[in-house]
Copies of this chain bind each other. A is one copy, B any other.
Amino acid sequence: MKTYLDCIPCFFKQALFAARAAIDDEKKIKEVLDRVGTLVSQIPLDSSPPETGRVVYRTVRQVTGIDDPFASLKAESIKKALALYPSLNEMVEISGNPLETAVRLAVAGNIIDFGANPDFQLEQGIEETIRKEPGTNHYEAFKNKLEGACEILYLGDNAGETVFDRLLIETMAKPVTFAVRDRPVINDATVEDAMKSGLDEVAELISSGCDAPGVILNRCSEEFLDHYERADLIISKGQGNYETLSSEQRPIFYLLKAKCHVIARDLGVEQGDTVIKYARL
């Protein structure tokens, strides 16, 4: 997906939120915004938003000196999601369609996001995601594709959401490789966060090799690209992964909440909608 002009004010909003999560020093935070200001003219609109996001969050780290501003928010999100896990698991078990319920819950977990929409309400969002018809619903295609899939690559997004991903992986009952960011960016999951979520027990964990809040293929590791090319089913969670891969022709299912109006418009859905979208349909 290209960078829309509306993404530019949002980069400043995100830089401000991240800088405030890192430090409590108005002058330093202003310096972050000053430096993001100088970046604007260097943003090509034909690049994807996570390419700029990568530089913005790098700037936050450099100016504040804090490597992982969201460390405690991530830990909290994982703790909260783990506390919800038994009831989520029960929802899947008693469901007439456990796989569909697990897919919907995996999308619901995407509500946890300190980039696009930090004011999220998790429990309310779960209930709504289960109840409301998705804006795009290629679930049947997903179910069919999954049946024949041998090599599944799962592209993670946020810490905490990872617990919801674990439930979907358990329900799919297939071998899965779970890819995370190479280092902390926003509240996206790293290997450490994935392990805290119990993902190492149900999947092979790898890093994408990329420190952007998305999967920028030409910045990914050989190991990741090897998985990416081999996979016969790719599950891509969240906005950032969609933004970086939306023009790819691989067998990708995008599972996400359309949290901002720019993405919603790009996807042809309403803001807030659940999206289960197959790249090849």
Contacts and interface: CB of A to CB of B under 8 A. Distances in A.
Contact of A36 (B16, B34, B40): B40
A45 B41 CA distance: 23
A230 interface: no
A85 interface: no
Contacts of A8: 12, 16, 33
A39 interface: yes
Contact of A16 (B6, B20, B41): B6
Interface residue tally on A, bucketed by range: 20 to 34
Chain A contact surface mostly: helix
A40 B45 contact: no
Contacts of A16: 5-6, 8-9
Given A5-B20, A37-B39, 9 more contacts: A8-B33, A9-B9, A9-B13, A26-B45, A30-B45, A33-B40, A34-B40, A34-B41, A38-B40
28 contacts: A5-B16, A5-B20, A5-B26, A5-B29, A5-B30, A5-B33, A8-B16, A8-B33, A9-B10, A9-B12, A9-B13, A9-B16, A12-B12, A26-B45, A30-B45, A33-B40, A34-B40, A34-B41, A36-B37, A36-B40, A37-B37, A37-B38, A37-B39, A37-B40, A37-B41, A38-B38, A38-B40, A38-B41
